[in-house]
């Protein structure tokens, strides 16, 4: 009989302090648990009745939002499997700008269904195989579920529907108002070829006070502050943009000056004044009417700017300075001096306007062929509310960006997922072997979306889902468009197409793809090896001051 050698936990290979976990129980199921926990956090924020989360990040900044992208970004997730989920959702945000929640929820649910299959004795690779078949099939089916196409990206009516659905998921009740603002802003900057549409051309400025209904679209770039000097308007102006402060350069060392008599005392600041006057006179001679600076403006400089009739605007964000360079065609200079003709920008109108008691500065280009920017000025009571509305508007603008790539729309309100569920179940029934179990579980996982919509709206999910199943398995013409009615007028279901609840097909396409790929990555892991974290021992958490002992 052979001698049984006890299996060591790889002590010779690595330094002390390494942690190992391997096998289905230790590695796979733990990863699934972590990923599922993360998806449960954001699941309650899904859909028009999604609840808000209060997240306080490591800098103690407070976020009150139901936007999954923000929640996930501000949570400091350290579990490696949950991190994969975070990366997938960030990729969706970068790709589509919307449907981040879709990715996290679907991935969490796919893994939970896989957990059941694992406990039933299937091998991870069999589940992976089945999920891959189901994913490819789901992509095919999704293409056939399109109900309409946005033919004209310059028409207000056709853009309103998909934008309204996206905004309703974030700001339910205000979707009409916000969708109109977004459409107006988008049409202001829509280029001749819609494929060139840039999300960056639409900016949001938040002005506290008043109500959301006072929000407006301003054609141009808006800065929430007044100009520094006395000049508040300039038209057909040449613009010079500086990143440095408009002030006398301070020397690094301290200088000591010995003054002998009163005359020297009087002449002491004269040279300095002459130097400053020379700089701004040269700018005035070069026909510069507006100066934008990224730093401060000295008092002496301001005196001469007012004297020469030059308007000066302070813009503290370097990103806004860059955008302004693009709008005016100027180059940002790092030193004070006269810009060359190429470095100077032009702006048709720079003026100060009053928006609800707050005075703001607007840079506006009147001619169409110039680079255009539109700003949506939103009003509201609290900073958190304004931030949340900005996120909803951002989603609306990203819907237009997605539509420039692919104009197809599918029914919303969980109808698409229910139809996918039905068709994938049929595929599972026809598939021989062990793959059919994974395909059916993939189909079941899609049921999470209509279920979540019901739960978040306080409806009886089981009852509404049984009605949805009945509607989708009936052979009526509109069976594929029956979704959840969160207003619950009649039996909790509605025809999503008739009620104008439409989603962008590509967002669902990429969401399904990214969620499945992440779930597969987690399922393929069979061993976790963690090295000892760097850094010495943690200081003792004693009561009182750390230095007392």
Asked if residue 112 and residue 35 are part of one domain, the reply reads yes
Q: Are residues 440 and 342 in the same domain?
A: no
Query: Which burial class, exposed, middle or buried, applies to 404 when counting CB atoms under 10 A from its CB (0-12, 13-18, 19+)?
Result: middle
How do strand 482-484 and strand 493-495 relate by DSSP bridges?
antiparallel
Query: What does the alpha-carbon distance between residue 342 and residue 479 come to, in Å, rounded to a whole number?
Result: 61
pLDDT computed for residue 369 by the predictor: 55
Residue-wise pLDDT tens for the chain (549 aa)?
555 655 555 556 777 777 777 777 777 888 888 888 888 888 888 888 888 889 888 888 888 888 888 888 888 888 888 888 888 888 888 888 888 888 999 999 999 998 888 888 888 888 898 899 899 888 888 888 888 887 777 777 878 888 888 888 888 888 888 888 888 888 888 878 878 787 888 888 888 877 888 888 887 788 877 778 787 888 887 888 888 877 776 655 677 778 888 877 777 777 777 777 888 788 888 888 888 888 878 778 888 888 888 888 888 888 888 888 877 878 888 877 787 878 888 888 888 887 767 788 888 777 655 557 788 888 888 888 888 888 888 888 888 888 888 888 888 888 888 888 888 888 888 888 888 888 989 998 988 888 998 888 888 888 888 888 888 888 777 777 888 888 765 677 888 888 888 888 888 888 899 999 999 998 888 787 777 777 766 666 656 676 665
Instruction: Map residue 309 onto helix, strand or coil.
Output: coil
The strand ranges marked E within 391-452 are 408-411
225 and 133 in a common domain = no
444 shares its domain with 317 = no
**CA neighbor of 305 nearest in space, from 330, 280, 327:** 280
How many CA atoms lie within 13 Å of 486's alpha carbon, on the beta-carbon side?
Answer: 23
- The enclosing domain of 287 has a CATH number of 3.50.7.10
Task: Indicate whether 25 and 128 sit together in one domain.
Answer: yes
247: Cα within 13 Å, side-chain hemisphere: 13
Residue 316 lies in a domain: yes
Q: What pTM, to 2 d.p., does this model score?
A: 0.82
8 A C-beta contact, residue 177 and residue 339: no
Q: Give the tens place of pLDDT for each residue, 62-100.
A: 888 888 888 888 888 888 888 888 888 888 888 888 888
In a domain, 475, yes or no: yes
Query: Using CA of residue 313, residue 318, residue 319, residue 322, what is the dihedral sign?
Result: positive
- Whether 225 and 353 share a structural domain: yes
> Does residue 449 sit within a domain?
yes
CA torsion sign for 97, 102, 108, 113 is negative
**Residue 501, in any domain of the structure:** yes
Rounded Cα distance between 475 and 332, Å, is 64
Residues 365 and 426 in one domain: no
- Domain assignment of residue 305, given as a range: 221-251+262-371
Please check whether residues 247 and 312 belong to one and the same domain: yes
* Number of domains present in the structure of the chain: 2
Q: Which two tokens stand for residue 384?
A: 């958190």
- 358 plus 430 within the same structural domain: no
* 329 and 431 part of one domain: no
In a domain, 417, yes or no: yes
- Would you call 49 helix, strand, or coil by DSSP? coil
Do 442 and 522 belong together in one domain? yes
Report the alpha-carbon distance of residue 45 to residue 63 in Å, rounded.
14
How far is residue 110's CA from residue 455's CA, in Å, rounded to a whole number? 19
- For residue 45, being part of any structural domain is answered with yes
Domain presence at residue 395: no
The confidence score (pLDDT) of residue 12 equals 66
- In angstroms, the Cα distances linking 12 to 18, 350, 529, 533 are 11, 72, 14, 19
Closest CA to 330 of 509, 107, 321, 208: 321
> What percent helix, strand, coil does the chain show, rounded to 5?
45, 15, 35
For position 459, which CATH number holds?
1.10.560.10
State whether 274 and 355 are in the same domain. Answer: yes
Residue 352 lies in a domain: yes
DSSP for 350-388 reads EEEEEETTEEEEEEE--STTS---EEEEEEESSHHHHHH
Specify which residues 352 forms β-bridges with.
361
The whole-angstrom separation of Cα 515 and Cα 114 is: 14
Q: Quick one: pLDDT at residue 253?
A: 65
């Amino acid at each position: 009989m052979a001698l049984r050698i006890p299996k060591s936990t790889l002590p010779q290979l690595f330094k002390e302090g390494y942690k190992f976990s391997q096998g289905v129980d230790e590695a796979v199921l733990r990863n699934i648990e972590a990923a599922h926990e993360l998806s449960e956090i954001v699941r309650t924020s899904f859909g028009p009745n999604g609840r808000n989360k209060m997240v306080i990040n490591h800098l103690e900044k407070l976020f009150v939002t139901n936007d999954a992208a923000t929640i996930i970004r501000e949570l400091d997730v350290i579990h490696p499997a949950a991190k994969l989920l975070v990366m997938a959702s960030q990729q969706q945000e970068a790709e589509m700008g919307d449907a981040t929640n879709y990715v996290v929820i679907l991935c969490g649910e796919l893994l939970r269904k896989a957990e059941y299959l694992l406990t039933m004795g299937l091998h991870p690779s069999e589940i992976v195989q089945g999920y891959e078949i189901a994913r490819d099939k789901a992509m095919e089916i999704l293409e056939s579920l399109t109900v309409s196409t946005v033919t004209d990206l310059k028409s207000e009516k056709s853009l309103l529907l998909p934008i309204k659905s996206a905004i309703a998921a974030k700001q339910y009740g205000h979707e009409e108002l916000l969708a109109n603002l977004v459409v107006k802003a988008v049409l202001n900057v829509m280029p001749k070829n819609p494929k060139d549409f840039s999300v960056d051309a639409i900016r949001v400025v938040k002005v506290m006070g008043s109500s959301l209904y006072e929000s407006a679209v301003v054609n141009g770039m808006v800065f929430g502050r007044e100009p520094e000097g006395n000049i508040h308007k300039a038209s057909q102006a040449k613009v010079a943009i500086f990143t440095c402060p408009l002030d006398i350069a301070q020397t690094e060392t301290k200088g000591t000056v010995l003054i002998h008599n009163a005359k020297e005392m009087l002449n002491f600041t004269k040279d300095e004044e002459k130097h400053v006057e020379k700089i701004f006179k040269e700018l005035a001679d070069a026909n510069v009417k507006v100066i934008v600076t990224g730093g401060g403006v000295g008092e002496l400089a301001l005196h001469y700017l007012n004297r020469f009739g030059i308007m000066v605007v302070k813009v503290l964000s370097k990103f806004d300075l860059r955008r302004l360079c693009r709008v005016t065609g100027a180059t940002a200079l790092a030193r004070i001096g006269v810009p060359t003709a190429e470095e100077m920008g032009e702006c048709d109108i720079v003026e100060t306007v009053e928006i609800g008691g707050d005075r703001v500065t607007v840079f506006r280009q009147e001619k169409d062929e110039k680079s255009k920017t539109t700003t949506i000025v939103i009003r509201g009571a609290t900073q958190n509310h304004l931030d949340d509305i900005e996120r909803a508007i951002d989603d609306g603008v990203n819907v237009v960006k997605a539509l420039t790539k692919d104009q197809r729309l599918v029914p919303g309100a969980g109808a698409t997922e229910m139809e996918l569920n039905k068709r994938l179940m049929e595929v599972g029934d026809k598939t021989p072997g062990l793959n059919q179990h994974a395909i059916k579980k993939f189909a079941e996982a899609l049921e999470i979306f209509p279920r979540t919509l019901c739960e978040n709206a306080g409806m009886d999910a089981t009852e509404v889902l049984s009605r949805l199943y009945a509607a989708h398995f009936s052979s009526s013409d509109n069976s594929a468009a029956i979704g959840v009615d969160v207003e619950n007028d009649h039996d909790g279901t509605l025809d999503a197409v008739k009620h104008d609840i439409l989603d962008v097909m590509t967002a669902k396409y990429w969401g399904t793809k990214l969620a499945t790929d992440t779930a597969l990555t987690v399922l393929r892991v069979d061993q976790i090896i963690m090295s000892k974290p760097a850094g010495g021992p943690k200081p003792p958490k004693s009561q009182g001051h750390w230095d007392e002992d």
